[in-house]
Amino acid sequence: MPIKYVPFIPEPVEGQAVLGNFNRILRYKGADDVSMTLQRGMPLYEMEKQETVGENSDGNMVIRGECVSACAYLKEQGIQVDLVYIDPPFASGADYAKKVYIRRNPKVAEVIAQAEQELDVDELKAFEEKMYGDVWDKEKYLNWMYENLMAIKSIMSETASIYVHLDWHIGHYVKILLDEVFGESHFLNEIVWHYYNKMQGNVNRFASNHDVIFLYTKSDIYIFSPIKEKRDETIKQIKRVWDSETQKLVNAKDENGRVIYQESSEKTIDDVWRMSMLQPADKKEPVGYATQKPESLIERAIQASSDINLIVADFFGGSGTTAVCANKLGRKFIHCDIGLNSVQTTRDRLVADGAEFDVLEIKDGVQLYRNPVQTMDKIKALIPGLKNEDSLDSFWEGAISDSKLGTIPVYVPNLMDSASKLLDKVTMNRIIHQAIPELDNDIKKVIVYYIDITDEVEIMNFIKEDDSTTVEIELRDLKSILDDVVIGDYAEFHAEEIAGGYAVAIDKFMSDRVLFKIAEFNQKAFLNSSTKKPYKSIEISEEGLELIEFLSLDCTANGGEWHSDSEIKIDKNGYVIVDGNKTKEFWDGYIRSTKKPLRLKIRNICGDETVWEV
C-alpha cells in the first residue's frame, strides 16, 4: 500500500480540461478513469537502496520501478530534472526478448564448444529472458502515456525540455497528448531520426526507415545550444549580419559594396538526424538489449538541451544509453525502468565507465520477478482453474468454470499499467459500472485479484453500497499464491587466503529455473528437428558453472545494501570483465578480493541473482 499520494502539478493542466480536448477528438474509453487517477495523485512507496557504487556525491540514481512511482519519489524528495529523454513502448504489437548465451565452463574442457551455443529466447517467451511486451490496446496505451507524461512534467524544472521518441504506430496520437500536457506553444521540433542503414525486403510499400522524436519545453525559458557537424566538403557562403535599422539579417559587404563570402566547413544540424542504427556487426556499443539506441543519438539531445552538472532523466531507460551518455558528458543522471534486466545492464555499463550512483528499488509489491511480463505469465499459470475465454472482453484475464455458478470472469491487474496495479475506488467503479454491465446476463460472480489495495474494508463497503449490480464480487490477494514461488539458485563454494588477499572458488552452481528452460528448449528443438536441421541439445556439466554470468563480493557489510568490492562479469565469448575492465582472459572459476569477503552474489545467465554469506 502506498505511504501516501503525491499530487500531480499542475492539476489539471493549466487552461485546459484534463483530457478534454483529446477525448473529444478520439472518443476513447477510460478518460474519466484517468481524470480520477490524476485527482488522486501519484502513489508514493517505500524506496529501498540496493547498492551504492562509489561515493556518489552527485546523487545519481538507477531505479527499478515504473515511471509514476519514481516521479512521486523524486517530487517528495524535492528533486527536479533538467532534461528528459524517453523511449517508451511504441504500441507496436511486438514482443522484445534477449538471447541467453551459455558461458564457458572453466572446469570442463569439453564444454568450451558449448559456449558458442545459445538459447534463442524467441522460443522461450514465457521465461525471464523476455524483457517486455509492447502489446497494448490503443485506449489503454494513451491513458497510460497521459498519466506518465503528467508525472514527468511534475518533476521537470522550469527550464527543462523533454524528448519523446516514438515511431509511426502511435506517434501522431501521442503528439496530441503532448500538446495537451505541455501546451502547443511549447512544441519545438518534430525530429526525424533517419537510420539509413536499416535493411528491409520487399514490403509492398515505401520502407520505414525513420523514427520521430518530439521535443517540448516546460516553459518559454529553456536551454538550447545549436549543434554543428562537419560538412563533406568546405563551401563558400554569403556572410550575413544583423542590421539594427531594418531589424533583419542582410548580406555583409566590404567598403566597396561587394558581398563578403566566407568559407564554411561546418553546418548547423537541422531536424533530420541522419544516424545509423546499431547493427549486430557493431562491436563497441551493443549490450544485447533489443531496443538499444546509439549513443550518438542521445548525446546530440543532451548537448543541445542541457548544461554540465544538470540532471538528465530517462524513465523508460532500457539499456541505459541515456545515463551512460549523461555521465560521459558531465551531467548527473536518473535511470528508471521496471525491468530487472534493464537495471542490471545499465548498472554494468555505468560501472565499466567509472560512474558513481545508487541502485534503488521501489517497494510497490509488483517486483515479483524480473519484469512485469514474466510476472503476469507466472500469475496466470498459478491461478487455479484460470483459462482463456474468447467471449470475454480483454478487460478480463480469463475465466474459471464452476459447476454451480457457471463461468466466473477473472480480473488480474496489468503490471505494465501503473494505474491498474492498485485496487482503489477508481478501478472498482470501472469494474461495477463498465466491465460487469458488458458481461452476459447469466454471469453470477466475478473474481478480482489485486497485488496492492488502498483499503480492503473501504473497497468492500464501496461494493456493498453500490446497488447497480447483482453480480457477486470476490476480492483475492495475488501475493498469497506467489509467496513461495521464487526459489534461489544453489551454489557450493569455498574461500581461500592467497597472497595479497582472498579468493572464493565456485565448485558447483545449479539453477532449477534455467535448467527447466534449457530442458524446454531442448524439447522444442527435438520436435522441430529434421534431416536438414538435425537436433542439437544443450547439455550442462555437473558443475554447472556455464550458467554463471556475474559474480560479486561484498567485503564491507554482511547485510543491507550491497557493496561490490570486487566483481567479475563473464561475456558471451567467455572473457572476463574485472571491476568493469575488459580483458582477453577466460574465467578460472575464482573471484578475488584484497579484503576478507563477507557475502557472495551470483547472477545466472538469465539474470536472477542470489546472495550467500561466505
CA dist 592 and 586 (Å) reads: 15
Q: What CATH number has the domain spanning 490-613?
A: 2.60.40
pLDDT (tens digit, 9 = 90+) per residue, 263-306? 777 888 999 999 998 876 677 888 877 788 999 999 999 999 99
449's CB contacts (< 8 A; 6+ apart) are 379, 383, 410, 411, 412, 413, 476, 477, 478
User: Omega of the bond prior to 10 within 30 degrees of 0, cis?
Assistant: yes
599 pLDDT above the threshold of 60? yes
Q: What pLDDT does residue 448 have?
A: 94
Helix (H) or strand (E) holding 521: helix 512-527
**196-200, 372-376, 607-611: the lowest-pLDDT one:** 372-376
CA dist 20 and 128 (Å) reads: 40
CB 61 within 8 A of CB 323: no
- Percent of the chain at pLDDT > 90 equals 48
In total, the chain counts a number of residues equal to: 614
The type of residue at 611 is V
DSSP characters over 220-251:
S-------EEEEEEEEEEE-EEEETTTTEEEE
Residue 512 DSSP SS3? helix
pLDDT (tens digit, 9 = 90+) per residue, 151-196? 999 999 999 999 999 988 889 989 999 998 999 999 999 999 999 8
CA dist 478 and 474 (Å) reads: 13
CB 54 within 8 A of CB 565: no
What confidence tier does 18 reach under pLDDT thresholds 50, 70, 90?
Answer: very low
558's CB contacts (< 8 A; 6+ apart) are 598, 599, 613
DSSP characters over 42-63:
EEE--EEEEEEES--TT--EEE
Burial class (CB in 10 A: 0-12, 13-18, 19+), 12: middle
Domain covering 4-92+135-224+274-362, topology:
Rossmann fold (3.40.50)
> What is the helix, strand, coil percentage profile of the chain, to 5?
25, 30, 40
What confidence tier does 15 reach under pLDDT thresholds 50, 70, 90?
Answer: very low
DSSP characters over 539-550:
---SS-GGGEEE
Q: Which residue has the cell 564448444?
A: 113
Q: What CATH number has the domain spanning 372-481?
A: 3.40.1340
Domain-wise residue ranges, the chain: 4-92+135-224+274-362, 228-268, 372-481, 490-613
Residue 466 DSSP SS3? coil
Residue 349 CA to chain centroid, in angstroms? Answer: 15
Q: What pLDDT does residue 314 have?
A: 98
Instruction: Identify which of 32, 39, 29 has the alpha carbon closest to the alpha carbon of residue 9.
Output: 39
pLDDT (tens digit, 9 = 90+) per residue, 111-157? 555 555 666 555 544 344 555 555 467 777 888 899 899 999 999 99
- Model's pTM, two decimal places? 0.81
**45-54, 136-145, 262-271, 417-426: the lowest-pLDDT one:** 417-426
Helix (H) or strand (E) holding 174: helix 171-182
Measured N-to-C along each axis, helices 138-154 and 67-76 cross at an angle, to the nearest 10 degrees, of 20
Q: What pLDDT does residue 302 have?
A: 98
